[in-house]
Chains A and B, each alone.
Chain A
């Protein structure tokens, strides 16, 4: 167990190193330079550009830039080129905005997809199963931005509530009930949108896991013993079907920082996805690279956690 942990930590650190090198090269070898973002701006005289390049070490060779950037990142000194604020501070601020979306979306995904998937597995081939299957394909296939506009039209014309942004401007003077309801309405649509794909995929997965287990011999034995169907489904089958999902808790970790660019820009939600988008447009390399690095760390940490959880819950796997 310990040797497994040690090996996989070393492996993941090596992977992370290569990720950092590749993302750095991709950004710096692409044509164009941050100092040329706004060539028509009269303030960008050649001297300014020169100063800019010197200030941010853009005139240094690539490996020196690489070293400078990542040593800054690890000591927490990286600053955004756009507004000179600390990148980690900016990301933290946006992260707190994205967090409610992530939490509500994840809760919706995990609470809705299990009942749907289990029910379709139990009544396999029935009208419920077939319509659930079709709807999950529909949800996977619908472009997020199109679905967003359908929901916006529906909610705005039906319930007459504002949904764009994080809260209605100037509402803070009214009573707390209004403020809370306002926040809920603003939160609801983006998190439903964020959850749709997840619900569709996860409920299909739950269904196939349940079907897999329901075909096992011990389920037949349980039925033959004359146990009531509820007990067979929920105590014998479901418990065993849940095993792979425990490990999936690790895999939702990367979602923490991968706020959706499209949904956040439609709803003017000041989250991480929007910040990444703005950073890309402004060629704010430190922000882009830091977000990339953090999300790579989260992906690796997620797979690590899910490996460990698998070791713990499944007694058949002991390394």
Chain B
């Protein structure tokens, strides 16, 4: 059973003399690292707030309406009581008080913060999810298949396939179908019908196709180098400004520009794991490569990925807030913490709460992710742990 192999792989690590399981040990260490524990608690609280914010502020008749404009109640300070004489019954805030005040259109800042919490949360998690998936796949391929060479025919077929896709996007009609079909046929030849393709007699001039070029590892690592050359915030800004404004574009773009670190970690881990006995055992049992990679190697390589993902969520939230602040991103009626702050900056001396409430909220959430991530790094890394305590 695959589960047992994972256990065996872990048993190779020095056993804890107190006989605690890894999970118990994890909680014990977390309890001793007070900053990381505080980070985890704030993170869970933020998660619950964002989830309840999604339900309380959406729907036809939400409990807290973030888009309700009350022009007679402009820029009321936090904890101000609504002026009941001027408000229609439907306009009175649900708590009977403006908990975080109102903005320049008289919208309830508390409701807007609740709505924005969900945006921050999803941007953080989806962007990091994308970057982790890309990172694990590319890093895994580079680490596991790194030594195998790419042959010239692979390159040729891939070029044909991608040219076909590009032409499809540009809608050059008869040509794209031919190229996509050619590329697909080549991929089929190259992967499933490998034996047939190898056995084929080729005229000597076409033997160039069998020539070996770069290794897979070189290719992926050069790709990482190329991506690292782009100034990341500038690249994100360019793409987001050119694409239509939508929260999904931001998530995808942040995710696709931040996978390089994960790729490097996973590759390094895989290079050392590949030589270990449990992988050899799994291979000897005849498991297929996908199973070995995802059931046996990835769980053992996940620790640094988790750490960098936690810190990545923090920086994705910061990036999204920065984009909203510059006026890109989620289209206006929807609130995000960045655009509440950006709208409020004109009233910074008259209504400082419009700047401070979202600013402190971003700060606390990002800080909690950073502290938890650093704590996780200490806990999951036995070498650092000994030095620390």
Contacts and interface: CB of A to CB of B under 8 A. Distances in A.
Interface string B109-121: 0000000000000
B374 A137 contact: yes
Nearest to B240: A280
B345 A292 contact: no
A203 to B, nearest CB: 14
Interface in B326-364: 326, 341-342, 345, 348-349, 352, 355, 358-360, 362-363
Interface in A7-52: 11, 14-16, 18-19, 22-23, 26-27, 29-32
Interface string B227-241: 011110111011101
Nearest to A23: B230
Interface string A121-143: 00000000000011001101111
Given A15-B225, A19-B229, A258 B234 contact: yes
B370 A292 contact: no
Contacts of B363: 138, 141-143, 146
A90 to B, nearest CB: 16
Interface stretch (A76-84, A91-99, A170-178, A293-301): A293-301
Contact of A15 (B226, B231, B325, B367): B226
A22 B227 CA distance: 9
Contacts of B228: 299
Contacts of A295: 229-231, 234
15 contacts: A19-B229, A26-B235, A31-B242, A138-B367, A140-B370, A141-B366, A142-B363, A143-B359, A146-B363, A149-B345, A152-B348, A258-B231, A261-B237, A280-B237, A300-B229
B169 A134 contact: no
Contacts of B374: 137
Give the most central of A138, A141, A142, A262: most B CB within 10 Å: A141
A184 to B, nearest CB: 24
Nearest to B325: A145
Contact of B355 (A149, A280, A296): A149
Contact of B237 (A11, A137, A152, A277): A277
Contacts of A145: 321-322, 325, 341-342
Contacts of A146: 341, 355, 358-360, 362-363
Interface of A: 11, 14-16, 18-19, 22-23, 26-27, 29-32, 133-134, 137-138, 140-146, 149-150, 152-153, 211, 215, 254, 257-258, 261-262, 265, 276-277, 280-281, 283, 288, 291-292, 295-296, 299-300
Interface of B: 35, 169, 222, 225-226, 228-231, 233-235, 237-239, 241-244, 314, 318, 321-322, 325-326, 341-342, 345, 348-349, 352, 355, 358-360, 362-363, 366-367, 369-371, 374, 387
Contacts of B360: 146
Contacts of A276: 234, 237
A205 to B, nearest CB: 13
Contacts of A299: 228-229, 231
- Pick the most buried of B241, B321, B342: most chain A CB atoms within 10 A of its CB: B241
B231 A254 contact: yes
Among A134, A143, A149, find the residue whose CB has the most chain B CB atoms closer than 10 A.
A143
B371 A296 contact: no
A153 B348 contact: yes
Contact of A32 (B222, B242, B369): B242
A262 to B, nearest CB: 6
A257 B341 CA distance: 27
A143 B242 contact: no
